[in-house]
Amino acid sequence: MSSELLRNLKPSETLGSIAKVNKLKEKGINVISFGAGEPDFPTPKPIKEEAEKALNNDFTKYTPTSGIIELRDAICQKLLKDNKIEYKPSNIVVSNGAKHSLFNICYAICPAGGEILIQKPYWVSYPDMIYAAGGVPVNVVSSSSKTFKVSATDLEKKRTDKTVAFIINSPNNPTSEVYSKDELKDIAEWALKNNVWIISDEIYEKIVFNGHEHYSIPYLCPDMKDKTFVVNGMSKAYSMTGWRIGYAAGPEDIIKKIVLFQSHTTSCPNSIAQKAAVKALDGEAKDVEGMVTAFERRKEIIFKGINEIKGLKANKPEGAFYILVDCSEILKGREISDFCNFLLDNVHILVISGNAFGIENHVRLSFATSDENIIEGLKRLAKGVELWINSL
Ligand code: PMP
Ligand code: GLU
C-alpha cells in the first residue's frame, strides 16, 4: 500500500519508451526510435575530460548540498550573460536534473491541495510531480485555434483562491512552440497582479529555430524576479542526460528550504558531474551551436517528410526537438495508442502517444536522432500509415 501522494502516479511514458526500444533491440529487431527526447550526440570531449580529472583528483566526496561554489558561480554568470538576470550563488540550488529541481520547487511552494496551472498539452511529468508534491495540476487550454500557447486571459479563467503557480515551458515539449516576448510579458504581469509563482522550465532554451528567441520572465518583468524560479540544466544543451545535473534560480528564502530538503533526501548532486558541468558552462558554445545546427536541419527533414504523408499534419517546430503530429484524419474512430502499437509491430518505429501529454489523436516524435534514422523512419512511417489505413 503506497502513501496517498504516490497512489495515482503513472509511469513516465517517455522514459518507458527507452526500455521498450532496448528490449526490442536485444531481440535483434531494428527499431527506429522517435521516443524519448535525448540528444544523440556524445557529451563533448572537454566535459568528459574534466570529469576524468575530477575522478583522478579524488573529487569523490560529498559536496555542499546546494552544489559546489564554482558551479553556482558559473550558473550565475550564465544567467547574467544569456538571460540578463543577476543572481547570487545563494539564489541557486543544483539538483539531480531539471526534473528534480522542478519537483523540489513544487514541494517547497505548494500547500496540500494547492493548484498549479500547466499548459495542456503538457510535458508528461508535470501532473505527476505536482501530485507527488501534494498539489493538484490544473490544465489550461489555449483559447486560440492557431496555437497551443496559453494567454494571461486563459490563465485567469482557471485561477482560483487555491492557485499557487503556473509552470511555463518555452521552447515547449511536446508542442515545440516558443512563447514570444509580448506573450511572456502579459503572463508575467498577470502573475504579478495575482501573486502567482512562475516556474519557468527553460531546459530547451538553446534550441530555437528560424529567428525565434528565448526570453526569461525576470528579465522581461524585473518585479517578478522574487516570484519566479528559472529552471535549467545540462541535459539538453550539452547532451548530458545521464549526468543528472539541473538547477533552479529563485528567491533566497525558498532556495534555502530546498537546500534543507535536499540535505535530508539526496545530500548533494554527484560531485564528478558537478565539475563537468562547470566546464560545460565555461565555454562549450561551439559544440552547442553544432548540435543546434543539426537539430535545425533535422527539423526541416522531418517537418517536410511528415506533411508529405497523406493524413498526417504537423506545424513547423519553433524550438526544442519534437514534432507533434495530428493523426485525426487516419484514426477513424480507432485509438491513438493502437496506432502507436501498430507502427511498432509492423514497421518498427517508436512514437509516443499524445495521451502521455494530454492531447488526443496526436503522436509526438523526437528528432534528436540521426539524419539517417529520420530519413529511414519517415519511409517506415509512410508505409505504416498506408498499412494502417488499409487495415480498416
Ligand atoms: N523539462 C522538460 C520540458 C523536459 O522535456 C525534460 C526532459 N529531459 C526535463 C525538464 C528534465 O530534464 P533533466 O531532468 O534531464 O534535466
Ligand atoms: N524529457 C524527455 C522527453 O520528454 C526525456 C525523458 C524524460 O525526462 O521524461 O522525452
Instruction: List, for residues 292-319, the tens digit of each pLDDT value.
Output: 999 999 999 999 999 999 999 999 999 9
Say which ligand is closest to the CA of 15: 2
Q: What is the mean pLDDT of the chain?
A: 96
Q: Which of 44-48, 244-248, 331-335 has the highest mean pLDDT?
A: 244-248
Which of 228, 262, 281 lies at the terminal end of a domain, its last residue? 281
Distance CA 326, CA 145 (A): 14
Helix (H) or strand (E) holding 356: none
Q: Is residue 54 part of a domain?
A: no
**298, 374 Cβ separation under 8 angstroms:** yes
Q: In this structure, is residue 66 part of a structural domain? A: yes
273 and 333 fall within a common domain: no
Residue 122: exposed, middle, or buried by beta-carbon count in 10 A (0-12, 13-18, 19+)? buried
Instruction: Looking at the structure, tell me whether residues 239 and 111 fall in a common domain.
Output: yes
pLDDT at 8: 83
- Is the same domain home to 87 and 136? yes
Q: How many CA atoms lie within 13 A of 384 on its CB side?
A: 25
Which atom of ligand 2 is least distant from the CA of 366?
10
Does residue 176 belong to any structural domain of this protein? yes
Same domain? For 263 and 324 the reply is no
How many domains does the structure of the chain reveal?
A: 2
Cα 98 to middle of ligand 1, angstroms: 6
Q: Which residue has the cell 525565434?
A: 212
Q: Are residues 233 and 373 in the same domain?
A: no
pLDDT at 312: 98
pLDDT digits (tens, 9 = 90+) for 9-36: 998 988 888 888 899 989 999 999 999 8
> Does some domain include residue 380?
yes
Q: The cell 529555430 sits on which residue? A: 209
What is the reported pLDDT for 285?
56
With CA atoms as reference, report the closest residue to 49 among 234, 278, 247: 278
Among residues 258, 281, 304, the one where a domain terminates is 281
Strand partners, 139: 118
Verify that 274 and 246 share a domain, yes or no: yes
Radius of gyration, alpha carbons of the chain = 21
Pair (66, 9) in one structural domain: no
Q: Looking at ligand 2, which atom is closest to the CA of residue 203?
A: 1
- Whether residue 322 is found in the same domain as residue 294: yes
Q: Which ligand is nearest to the CA of 204?
A: 1
Distance 82 CA to ligand 1 centre (A): 19
In this structure, the answer to whether residues 251 and 378 fall within a common structural domain is no
Give tens-digit pLDDT for 177-224.
999 999 999 999 999 999 999 999 999 999 999 899 999 999 999 999
Distances, alpha carbon 48 to alpha carbons 245, 278, 280, 284, in Å: 14, 11, 9, 12
Cell matching residue 19: 526500455
Q: Calculate how far, in angstroms, residue 106's C-alpha sits from the geometric centre of ligand 1.
A: 15
Q: Using the mean position of ligand 2's atoms as its centre, give its distance from the Cα of residue 377 in Å.
A: 20
Edge-to-edge strand order for the sheet containing 163-169?
92-95, 246-249, 228-233, 197-201, 163-169, 115-119, 136-140
pLDDT tens digit sequence for 230-263: 999 999 999 999 999 999 999 999 999 999 999 9
| Nearest ligand to the CA atom of 169 | 1
Give the pLDDT score at 17: 87
Indicate which ligand has the atom closest to the C-alpha of 245. 1
User: Is 276:240 a contact under the CB 8 Å cutoff?
Assistant: yes
pLDDT for 1: 72
The residue among 217, 250, 281 that closes a domain is 281
Residue pair 14/37 in contact (Cβ under 8 Å)? The answer is yes
Same domain, 229 and 143: yes
Whether 264 is in a domain gets the answer yes
- The closest residue, in CA terms, to atom 12 on ligand 1 is 98
Residue 70: how many CB atoms within 10 A of its CB? 16
User: Is residue 284 predicted with pLDDT exceeding 70?
Assistant: no
Average pLDDT of the residues in 360-368: 97
What is the residue with the minimal CA distance to atom 2 of ligand 2? 37
Residue 358: predicted pLDDT: 97
| Distance between Cα 15 and ligand 2 center (Å) | 6
* CA of residue 276 to ligand 2 center, whole Å: 22
Judged against a pLDDT cut of 60, whether residue 351 lies above it is answered with yes
Q: What is the CATH number of the domain that holds 300?
A: 3.90.1150.10
pLDDT, position 123: 98
Examine residue 227 and state whether it is found in any structural domain, yes or no. yes
Share of the chain above pLDDT 70, in %: 99
Which domain range does residue 105 map to?
61-281
Strand partners, 314: 325
Same domain as 298, residue 271? no
Q: Is-contact 347 384, C-beta < 8 A?
A: yes
Could you tell me if 248 and 93 are in contact, meaning their C-beta atoms sit under 8 angstroms apart? yes
Cα(390) to centroid(ligand 2), Å:
33
Ligand 2 atom closest to the Cα of residue 12 is 9
Ligand nearest to the CA of residue 203, numbered in listed order: 1
Distance of CA 96 to the CA centre of its chain: 14
For 98-134, write each residue's pLDDT tens digit. 999 999 999 999 999 999 999 999 999 999 999 999 9
Residue 392, pLDDT score: 77
Using CB distances shorter than 6 Å, the residues near ligand 1 are 37, 97-99, 123, 169, 173, 201, 203, 233, 235, 241, 246
Cell 504579478 sits on residue: 192
What the block records as the C-alpha cell of 295 is 537539430
Number of C-alpha atoms within 13 angstroms, CB side, residue 234?
30
- Which ligand 2 atom is the nearest neighbour of the CA of 97? 8
Ligand 1 atom with the shortest distance to the CA of 99: 14
Q: Which atom of ligand 1 is nearest to the CA of 241?
A: 15
170, 274: one domain: yes
Flag whether 322 is in a domain.
yes
Ligand 2, residues 17, 21, 124: which to mutate, most atoms within 8 A of Cβ?
A: 124
pLDDT over 80 (residue 378): yes
Question: pLDDT tens for residues 86-103?
Answer: 999 999 999 999 999 999
Q: Is there a domain that residue 243 lies in?
A: yes
Spatial distance between the Cα atoms of 289 and 94, rounded to a whole number of angstroms: 24
